[in-house]
Amino acid sequence: MDIINYSRVTKRYNSWPRGNKVLALDDFSLQIEQGEVFGFLGPNGAGKSTALKILLNFVYPSAGTVSLMGKSVSDRRARGLVGYLPENPYFYDYLTAKEILWFGGKASGLHKHEIHDRTDMLLDRMGLKASCERPLRTYSKGMVQRAGLALALVHNPEVVVLDEPMSGLDPIGRKLVGDLILELKSQGKTVFFSSHILTDVERFCDRAGILVGGRLRLVGSLKDLLSRAGSLEDIFMREVKTAEERMQ
């Protein structure tokens, strides 16, 4: 069953000050199945964050459709089943990690006992239990990133969307987040994440896709992709170079 379905999505932004159209996604189609961990690759400016924001209904496509669990992404019932970690999470820095998870749980309609249990478990898993009463302004970038991931998971979503989840993490944080992604996979959750760290994609993902210039240039299982070349880095560099040559 396709949990995420992009069908011929195009997105153009108005540039400033001239008002020219900037093409961010070009006839983009992608299907992600239930229980799959999908790695989304591409150089800076390829359109990855735009694709994720369209899935989350933060921005709207210029053409094409996107569905989530068989429903339009504009349907709030579908959005309630998604957890999202942005590349640079921002919170009111006077709040504590425990308070932002409480807020997220209440906003998701959880009962207070569920919020308490999920908060306690997630803060422990993310190594934040000892610091959960401290204001977020006292956190390092990596700690804020881990708090953001805990918030994305507080309502136990079926689909988890992560934009550069390893950004700013030290080796301990990377291990915590990596283990959690593997646990989500074992639970049958669908994980869709973008990353510049190719070794993470090789480790965690069932399939991966490479986006360059707003177009999906290559998609396939990690097993099939790696059988074509020695490493994902080789495949990535080749696809980016070929795509950029075609765009010249």
Please give the backbone phi and psi of residue 123, each rounded to the nearest 5 degrees, phi first: -65, -35
Cβ(236)–Cβ(217) under 8 Å? no
Question: What percent of the chain shows pLDDT beyond 70?
Answer: 98
Burial class (CB within 10 angstroms; exposed 0-12, middle 13-18, buried 19+) of 10 = middle
Residue 62's Cα: distance from chain center in Å? 22
Buried b vs exposed e over 48-86: b needs ≥16 C-beta within 10 Å? bbbbbbbbbbebebeebebbbbeeebeeeebbebbbbbb
Please give the structure tokens belonging to residue 205.
């993902």
Of 11, 1, 196, 159, the residue nearest 78 (C-alpha): 159
Mean pLDDT of 199-203: 91
Mean pLDDT value across the chain: 91
pTM more than 0.75: yes
Q: pLDDT tens for residues 105-150?
A: 999 999 999 999 999 999 999 999 999 999 999 999 999 999 999 9
Q: Given this model, what pLDDT does residue 89 score?
A: 86
CATH fold for the domain made of 2-247: Rossmann fold (3.40.50)
